[in-house]
Amino acid sequence: MNKLVRLTAVAVCATCLLAGCNYKRYVQDSGYDYGSRQNGDPKMLGPKLYGSLTGNPRQHDNKYVEYSSMLTNEVSNLNGVASGLVMLTDKNAYVALMLDGTAVGTKSSGSRSYDQNNGGLNEGVYNVDTGSPYGSGSKPASPYNSYYTINDHSELSDELKQTIAAKIRHLAPRVEEVHISANMDFVNEINEYAKQAWAGRSLAVLLEPFNLLVRHQFAGGKTMPVPVQERTSRAEQSR
């Protein structure tokens, strides 16, 4: 009888452990975990879908650029993503990310912390370093009390980038490359391009600075363009 009780107890424990392991694996395979790096993770099955793939040194010499509200909505609805602005060109898709902490592992292993210091939320101020209650509402990403950004796009989780690229390629299959960054300056500047599109303005006049921007962010370009906000301000003053 005692042996039967012991065997039953062992079986119950094994069942509980198995259920726990299955749940852990379920979470790791889900869109709530971009950092597990488990073999067989469905997010990483198949070939690499993001980054430089064609080997074309002129890959960022785009001939047109447009804002995609559909792709922006799809990427922004992914777990862990606060906002994912998507710009489409004749060759590529470019994604400007802000993260919200609703998924784990969005940073690659060993990467540094996020760019933000959100300690002011606990102190009732905007800038915890100066105590100022005032922030700039003109930029979506800032160093204080903001959604999260990461300076170097190589420090984003591969699983997160693969998930985003798969979503984009499913909906825009002609895209040659998908480039993704959560760099604060890149996010804020892409937001300015999106604002131009939201206002119904053509982005054709901004193609050259856009190409400079994406080359700087993804291809080691040395030149940063004049910011869109400054460019439009100059144009208005010259009228």
Map out the domains of the chain as residue ranges.
Answer: 31-107+149-237, 115-146
Q: Model's pTM, two decimal places? A: 0.81
In the predicted structure, residue 181 carries a pLDDT above the cut 50: yes
Strand partners, 99: 81, 148
Greater model confidence, 25 or 78: 78
Greater model confidence, 211 or 6: 211
Burial class of residue 139 (count of CB atoms within 10 Å of its CB; 0-12, 13-18, 19+)? middle
Q: Note whether 78 and 105 are within 8 A (CB).
A: no
The whole-angstrom separation of Cα 127 and Cα 125 is 6
Greater model confidence, 128 or 152: 152
Phi, psi of 104 (to 5 degrees): -95, 160
Least confident of 19-23, 132-136, 184-188, 205-209: 19-23
The whole-angstrom separation of Cα 160 and Cα 80 is 9
- State the pLDDT at residue 123: 53
Torsion of CA 207, 213, 219, 220, to 10 degrees: 140
- State the pLDDT at residue 235: 74
In the predicted structure, residue 42 carries a pLDDT above the cut 80: no
- State the pLDDT at residue 190: 98
The whole-angstrom separation of Cα 65 and Cα 67 is 7
**Banded model confidence at residue 192, pLDDT cuts 50, 70, 90:** very high
Q: Note whether 206 and 196 are within 8 A (CB).
A: yes
Nearest residue to 158 (alpha-carbon basis) of 192, 191, 109, 120: 109
Strand partners, 94: 87, 179
Mean pLDDT confidence for 149-162: 94
* Token representation of residue 88: 């489409």
Any residues with CB less than 8 A from the CB of 30 and at least 6 apart, and which? 79
Any residues with CB less than 8 A from the CB of 113 and at least 6 apart, and which? none
In the predicted structure, residue 17 carries a pLDDT above the cut 60: no
How many Cβ atoms sit within 10 Å of the Cβ of residue 110? Answer: 6
Phi, psi of 169 (to 5 degrees): -65, -30
